[in-house]
Amino acid sequence: MGEAVLRRQRVRESAARTYARSFPIVPVRANGMTVEGADGRRYLDCLSGAGTLALGHNHPVVLEAIRRTLDSGAPLHLLDLATAEKDDFTTALFESLPAEFAARARIHFCGPAGTDAVEAALKLMQTATGRAGALAFTGGYHGMTAGALALTGNVAVKEPLPSGGEVVRLPYPYGYRCPFGVGGEAGADLAATYVERLLDDPSGGVVPPAAMVLEAVQGEGGVVPAPDGWLRAMRQITAERGIPLIVDEVQTGVGRTGAMWAVEHSGVVPDAMVLSKAIGGSLPLAVVVYREDYDGWRPGAHTGTFRGNTLAMAAGAATLRYVTAHGLAERAALVGERMTGRLRDLAGELPVIGDVRGRGLMIGVELVDPSGAPDACGAHPADPAFAVRVREACLERGLIVELGGRHDAVLRLLPPLTITDEQAAAVLDRLADAIASASAASAGSAVSVGSARSAGSAGSGQGRGAGSAAEVRGAE
């Protein structure tokens, strides 16, 4: 069955297929972190729907919320009418937001995807300020619709299209490949100074913008966390100049980075937050939450048929409350720190690992060509071809990981927040084995896989709200 499905997909679907190219499998069952293919093979899923599945696949609390809503006879589609499910979701969401932000916030339900929420946030700030342009950052990713794509940094997805609007591109502090060639705290300071000087330069070419849009941790850009001090500087710079600050928390939200929302690490209070992915409990849902001062829309100024989804709101409310009640953000911080620590140990053994970075359970491993000449910061050239081989080797070992980053050479780990210590160890074992094996094959010589596997221990015991050890063994 699986091969036939894959064959029909190749013939029928558009050339834009992405994940189906990377992972030629046909999932038929999924539970927690484990995905079973039509061929009976099981995989540990470190993609989690690109961060959508905060609780993993088919978590009981999510399924119960969906079944309860279905059994209640509640209408599944009512445009933007008031419902008990919408009210409950909004309450759960506001309870999870930073208190200072939530106290004076409004919510707008958008279309079902994060890119729709980005478009809505831009229109909101354009309406409020009377301005048209925006400030965005190198490496940023905000979606594939026209306005969101204009904000996105990836040139490859923008080249075939006409201009999406006036966007001033600013340098994002990327320590490993610093745009200023200095790295570290000095590089972040230079990035902040550059923004400030550019905006204040009457000949700098920047017309006062409608908003600044940024990610506290760039996801598709290669899992690049923004330094907290730099984020605070962006908040100060925008506040002093009357520029609304929009933080895109589509992938970083709901505990992913070790805090409920990534901005909480820095204490920054933005003017708007764009939310999607995990807030729907695995179902499509996207919203913009913003300071009430900016609520200048007229009725119907931004609407749509699928502004919210009853089942998604029920599943999302259950997910938000479960993450909070079981301390899964704190758990993500703990397990993420252990995993990045082990991966950094592994980097000391395998020079093809140029950098390990991330926050919580949003982890990136940048793969490089160690024989290439290093740049001013000592970073070797990215090796996207090798990264593809590692991804394939991971899949052979029953591990699903995806690539990202400026050169598609960053292995991205986005496991569910319910990952157990045993599952974390299994992920690291398989990843270490895959990298070592691919490295040995590339070099044409033996590499000690046994020593690499020693990086796979992420601790002992079982995490709260997570699957069983049997689930890990079943994926082997």
pLDDT digits (tens, 9 = 90+) for 206-229: 989 999 999 999 999 999 999 999
What amino acid occupies position 167?
V
Residue % of the chain over a pLDDT of 70: 89
Residue 45 has pLDDT above 60, yes or no: yes
Cα–Cα distance for residue pair 387/186, rounded to 1 Å: 30
pLDDT tens-digit map of 88-128: 999 999 999 999 999 999 999 998 998 899 999 999 999 89
Tokens of 45: 């899923």
Look at 413 and 167; give whichever has higher pLDDT: 413
Cα–Cα distance for residue pair 472/425, rounded to 1 Å: 10
What amino acid occupies position 11?
V
Cα–Cα distance for residue pair 369/439, rounded to 1 Å: 10
Average model confidence (pLDDT) across the chain: 89
Q: What is the pLDDT of residue 149?
A: 64
Q: What is the pLDDT of residue 308?
A: 81
Query: Can you tell me the mean pLDDT for 393-402?
Result: 97
Cα–Cα distance for residue pair 421/460, rounded to 1 Å: 6
Cα–Cα distance for residue pair 305/284, rounded to 1 Å: 13
Query: What are the angstrom distances between the C-alpha of 161 and each of 88, 145, 164, 221?
Result: 41, 11, 8, 20
Query: Can you tell me the mean pLDDT for 44-52?
Result: 96
pTM here is 0.90
Residue 442 has pLDDT above 80, yes or no: no
Residue 152 has pLDDT above 90, yes or no: no
What order do you get walking across the sheet with 42-45 strand by strand? Answer: 27-31, 34-37, 42-45, 399-400
